[in-house]
Chain A
Amino acid sequence: MRLRSLSIAVLGAALCTSVLPGCIHLPAKVAAVVNQSDPAPANNFRRDPAPHQAAANAKPAAP
Chain B
Amino acid sequence: MPSLPLRSAAGLGLLAALLLAGLALGGCASLGTGSSFPTWQIDRQPDNSTAVFQGIPVHTGQIVASEQGSAQSIFLALLVSDNSPWVHTGIIAIEDGVPVVYEANGQIRPSLTGGPPTRNVGGGLRRVTLESFLGKQRFVAIYDPPPGADGERIGRFARDSLKAGLPFDSFFDRSDPSKVYCSEFTALALEAGGAAPRRSSPVNPNQSVAVVMDWLGITTPDIIPAGAVIEGATRVALISRRDTLPQVEAYFDAKAELHRRFTPDQKLGNVLHFSTFSGLTFQPEVLEFLRAANEAAAGWTDVPPDEIGKRVRALAAERLGPFDPLRLANAAHAR
Q: Which residues of A contact B (CB under 8 A)?
A: 14-16, 18-27, 29-38, 40-48
Contacts and interface: CB of A to CB of B under 8 A. Distances in A.
16 contacts: A18-B111, A19-B108, A20-B276, A21-B21, A21-B277, A24-B117, A26-B215, A33-B269, A34-B212, A37-B269, A42-B265, A44-B263, A44-B321, A45-B258, A47-B320, A47-B321
B275 interface: yes
B331 to A, nearest CB: 10
Interface of B: 4-7, 18-22, 108, 110-112, 114, 117, 207-208, 211-212, 215, 258, 261-263, 265-280, 283, 285-286, 318-321, 323
A17 B261 CA distance: 35
A18 B283 contact: no
A26 B18 CA distance: 11
A38 B267 contact: yes
A27 B215 contact: yes
A47 to B, nearest CB: 4
A46 B316 CA distance: 10
Nearest to A44: B261
A34 to B, nearest CB: 5
Contacts of A30: 211-212, 215
B321 A20 contact: no
Q: What is the predominant secondary structure among interface residues of chain A facing chain B?
A: loop
A45 to B, nearest CB: 5
Q: What is the predominant secondary structure among interface residues of chain B facing chain A?
A: mixed
Contacts of B271: 45
Contacts of B22: 21
A21 B111 contact: no
A29 to B, nearest CB: 6
Contacts of A45: 258, 261, 266, 270-271, 283, 285-286, 320-321
A48 B6 contact: no
Contacts of A33: 207-208, 211-212, 267-269
Nearest to A18: B110
Contact of A19 (B6, B114, B272): B6
Contacts of A22: 276-277
Contacts of A20: 4, 21, 276-277
